[in-house]
Chain A
Amino acid sequence: SQTIHQWPATLVQPVGSPLSLECTVEGTSNPNLYWYRQAAGRGLQLLFYSVGIGQISSEVPQNLSASRPQDRQFILSSKKLLLSDSGFYLCAWGSNQPQHFGDGTRLSIL
């Protein structure tokens, strides 16, 4: 069966520090991969999606970037975090609908 792992579960970082969140999927090949951000009490905003290794599409301009170095690995990064980057970050995979989500990373910026 397919599983998705996302870590860390929580992260507290100072403003201006770098960020790296990792997501891996097991049990499927060539999935579409997605990074979302969820503000407190709100819906999900799609940040990036990827249809293959090295293929990244950005949905909104922001301080973040994404990479897909391997078929089932999706990384969310930032060189310098801003206060506005705080939130709950969710990784998801899908080949056909629906999407399957990881347990998320709660990112707090101090």
Chain B
Amino acid sequence: SQQGEEDPQALSIQEGENATMNCSYKTSINNLQWYRQNSGRGLVHLILIRSNEREKHSGRLRVTLDTSKKSSSLLITASRAADTASYFCATDAGGGYQKVTFGTGTKLQVIP
């Protein structure tokens, strides 16, 4: 079964606005990762946050992790049309072999 569930399923914003996506998961994790997928392409890793971290930044990306609520959020600031893509969270529950479980994704559309 899917470990991560993102919400919203779809998000449409104007260029320059901020986009926030949320991920909830069910079991304890070692780390949580966010990936981006352009239409018809493979996934690209964006950021990894470990279970003992609460916040992490990378450029215009900000990820938070609340292990007590089993949730994470991805914030993209000052969005651009090129940010249009699907975004997935993936959780590593420590089952070995670096296996991760992906959520169902948030489809982001940034309107120029």
Give the distance in Å from the alpha carbon of A101 to the alpha carbon of B90 in the complex. 14
Contact A98 B48 (CB under 8 A): yes
The residue in chain B whose Cβ has the minimal distance to the Cβ of A88 is: B40
In the complex where A103-B42, A104-B42, A106-B40 touch, is A97 in contact with B98 (Cβ < 8 A)? yes
Interface residues on B, range: 20 to 34
Rounded to whole Å, the gap between the CB of A97 and the closest CB of chain B is 6
Contact B98 A96 (CB under 8 A): yes
In the complex where A97-B31, A97-B92, A98-B33 touch, is A43 in contact with B42 (Cβ < 8 A)? no
For A57, list chain B residues within 8 Å (CB): 97
Q: Is A109 an interface residue (CB 8 A)?
A: no
Q: Is A46 an interface residue (CB 8 A)?
A: yes
Contact B103 A99 (CB under 8 A): no
Contact B88 A44 (CB under 8 A): yes
Contact with B along A40-55 (1 / 0, CB 8 A): 0111101001010000
Q: Which of B33-80 contact A (CB under 8 A)?
A: 33, 35, 40-45, 48
For A42, list chain B residues within 8 Å (CB): 104-105
For B45, list chain A residues within 8 Å (CB): 98-100
Contact B97 A51 (CB under 8 A): yes
Give the distance in Å from the alpha carbon of A16 to the alpha carbon of B69 in the complex. 47
Contact B2 A43 (CB under 8 A): yes
Known: A43-B4, A98-B48, A101-B44. 16 other contacts (CB 8 A): A43-B104, A43-B105, A44-B43, A44-B102, A46-B99, A49-B97, A49-B99, A94-B98, A95-B98, A96-B98, A97-B98, A98-B35, A98-B45, A100-B45, A103-B41, A104-B42
Footprint of B on A, CB under 8 Å?
A: 6, 32, 34, 36, 41-44, 46, 49, 51, 57, 88, 90, 92, 94-104, 106
Footprint of A on B, CB under 8 Å?
A: 2, 4, 31, 33, 35, 40-45, 48, 88, 92, 97-105, 107
